[in-house]
Structure 1
């Protein structure tokens, strides 16, 4: 059996209020534009999640809210506080408790970029993958019957995209 993961870094967030708690930072205009474009790109390619797990940070929740209309109403969405600035190992632990496929996981750097790189057998040929910028989206497949079987170094890249790669 093949399992599919869609790994998305939240869209671009605002730094307008330097005193604002990091967890509460909203998306900026660029982020509000990019999130639905990423979702449309995913939908056009048939990468529609059955389950979404996202950090509880405002910017990840807003990213999903802007993505959801293009990806369907029937998706189960779970907010997990452990994903907020989670390291790669913690992200893998969270993934192992998912039930459906495809899973869309929404998180933060540096953890999500490291998680993406550690999951793969071979990295995509993209300079942007190294920095995993806001909105970066990796679609990866695993030969596994259950998420509990997934390990680092076992995933195959299906596609990788950033908002800059999508023409408006």
Structure 2
């Protein structure tokens, strides 16, 4: 059986400022457009994940919601998880290996550098720098998420939203 993990880096955000917490930074208009393009792209591939997990930071939540809305995914089913906001690779890896086996495809929306590191750790592929508004799809030939381990997945696709046509 194939399980697919979609690791999404949130889309482009407002610049950091002294009067705004990093956690509260929102998407720019470009970020909203890129998130919408990613969602449309996955909708054309009939990809609707069984679960969407997202950091609860504003920019990640907005990215997840815009992608989900384009795919016809019920926004109330998006699971916001504060641990994803400043997670280590170990934390996210544990989250992946503890996913319910009934879910065959899961999307996690989070932040760099951990999304990049996790994608490379799980697939053994060299992605380099994950751009804002990009997604790595990693496939695992496993029955259970608990069987996922370092380099056990195959990087099926790396998509950068700004390279997609509207």
Question: How many residues were matched structurally?
Answer: 163
Give the aligned partner of residue 131 of structure 2: 133
- Structure 1: where are the runs of 5+ without partners? 124-128
Measure the CA separation in 1 of the matches of 2:74 and 2:55. 20
Kindly tell me: are residues 24 and 96 of structure 1, through their superposed partners in 2, closer, same or farther at Cα, counting changes over 3 Å?
same
User: Do 2:56 and 2:81's aligned partners in 1 also have CA atoms closer than 8 Å?
Assistant: yes
The Cα RMSD (Å) is 1.5
The 4+ residue runs of structure 1 with deviation greater than 3 A are 73-76
Equivalent position of 1:82 in the other structure: 83
Matched residue of 1:159: which SS?
strand
Contact 1:50-1:74 within 8 A present in 2 as well: no
CA–CA distance in structure 2, aligned partners of residues 135 and 116 of structure 1: 15
Superimposed CA distance per residue, residues 107-166 of structure 1 (whole angstroms, 9 cap, x where no aligned partner): 10011100011111434xxxxx31101011111100111111111101112111101221
Q: 1:68-112 deviations in whole A, cap 9, x for unaligned? A: 222123473211111002121111111122221210000100111
Q: Given the alignment, which residue of 145, 148, 156 partners 1:147?
A: 145
Task: Name the CA shift for 1:155/1:29 in 2 (closer, same or farther; >3 Å).
Answer: same
Classify the secondary structure of the residue corresponding to 1:152. Answer: coil
Structure 2 unaligned spans of 5+: none
| Alignment check: 8 A CA contact 2:43 2:71 kept | yes
CA distance in 2, matches of 1:73, 1:135: 18
CA deviation profile, 1:34-53 (whole Å, cap 9, x unmatched): 00100111121232211011
Match of 1:97 in 2: 98
TM-score computed with the length of structure 2 as normaliser = 0.91
Secondary structure of the 1:161 match is strand
Q: What is the match of residue 126 of structure 1? A: none
Whole-Å separation in 2 of the counterparts to 1:38 and 1:17? 27
For residue 130 of structure 1, give the secondary structure of its aligned residue in structure 2.
coil
